[in-house]
Amino acid sequence: MTTRERVPAVEGWFTTSEPYTLIGGKCPTCGTYVFPPRSGACPNPGCDATELEPTPLSRRGRIWSYTENHYAPPPPFVAPDPFEPYALAAVELEEEGLVILGQVAKGIMAADLRIGMAVEVDLQVLCTDADGQETWIWTWAPVADEEEGA
């Protein structure tokens, strides 16, 4: 059996080999972060920089809020048939001061989540085309919380 290449659903937003990380942009002048990565202008209105440098973002963050969708979204989402509910989480990255939305790792639902929960970037298959080619997406997956358990 051969292992297919992991084709990212979007180019340049995350790594497809471990350690999985989201890739944002960082302003070389003022240090501000962006996600998704972009070019052309720093979004800080007080900064004149015209380019942002690709930069790996913190792998871990905390859930700012979450939901669980029970109806299939319309295209361009590729919904499995039969449709299975899935969770989304908006996750706060402390160092970058960003909140980033992502699907939650398959099988983990709203009842398993809570605001403030520690999560980290993981990868899963987003969809598979007619030739069996898989495209991959980042997810948020719960992890043991180092600040808890005391």
Give the binding site for other proteins (CB under 8 A): 9-10, 27, 30-36, 43-46, 64-79, 86, 88, 90, 95-103, 110, 114-115, 126, 137
Q: How many CB atoms lie within 10 A of CB 93?
A: 21
Q: Which is nearer to other proteins, 2 or 76 (CB)?
A: 76
Pick the closer one to other proteins by CB: 20 or 64: 64
Strand partners, 24: 55
Whole-number minimum distance, CB 24 to other proteins, in Å?
8
Provide, rounded to whole angstroms, the least separation between the CB of residue 58 and other proteins: 11
C-alpha pair distances (Å), 19 with each of 108, 123, 146: 21, 10, 19
Is the CB of 2 or the CB of 75 nearer to other proteins? Answer: 75
Q: Which residues contact 45 (CB under 8 A, 6 or more apart)?
A: none
What distance in Å separates the CA atoms of residue 110 and residue 80, rounded to the nearest whole number?
Answer: 19
- Please say which residue, 27 or 105, places its beta carbon nearer to other proteins: 27
Closest approach of other proteins to the CB of residue 31, in Å: 5
CB of 70 to other proteins, least distance (A): 5
Q: How far is CA 118 from CA 24, 60, 71, 90, 150, in A?
A: 20, 7, 27, 12, 15
